[in-house]
Amino acid sequence: MRAMPPLARALGLALLACAGPAGAEPEPGTYTCTADRAVGLQGDAASGRRYGGRIELPAAERQFAITLGRTEVGKGRRCKPGQPRAADTPLSDEYSLWWFCRARTELSFSPGKYEPSLRGDDFNIFRDRLSGWLHLADDLRYVFAYTDFSGNFLLEEGSCGRD
């Protein structure tokens, strides 16, 4: 038997590593998630003190459920092309137009985690209109970031499992 040249061996190993199982890709349904760690900036408005570093999440935020599904946005009156818009219509920019009319998927959280739903074009990256986003990888690990507009910011990572 003949030995493989070093370049062919390296290429073969690289292809083998890439061809491994990708894990359970996100698809519509309910998932149970667990936050492994969270960091951020927090402040107490009354005292004016700020804290940056590791954050201990309450139980309802440490273990929570998410539901992924197709959204029904885009069927409302304000999404129909060619209609005149009032000055205060939220469709004044492309992001709002995407949020109200073009997003195809929606992620909602169990009560106590995060109030607004997030929207996306697929089942991996979700955003809300102003302050949060979540990336759900093909292996169901997630990164979630949001701000609460009182100056607090949180970044957390963890993993989800299909229910």
Q: pLDDT per residue over 127-161, tens digit each?
A: 987 788 999 999 999 999 998 877 889 999 999 99
Per-residue tokens: 137: 């990888």
Per-residue tokens: 15: 């292809």
Average pLDDT rounded to a whole number, residues 36-41: 95
Give pTM, 2 decimals: 0.71
Q: What is the pLDDT of residues 63-87, one digit of tens each?
A: 999 999 988 766 555 566 555 555 4
Q: Which residue do the tokens 């957390």 mark?
A: 156
Spatial distance between the Cα atoms of 20 and 17, rounded to a whole number of angstroms: 6
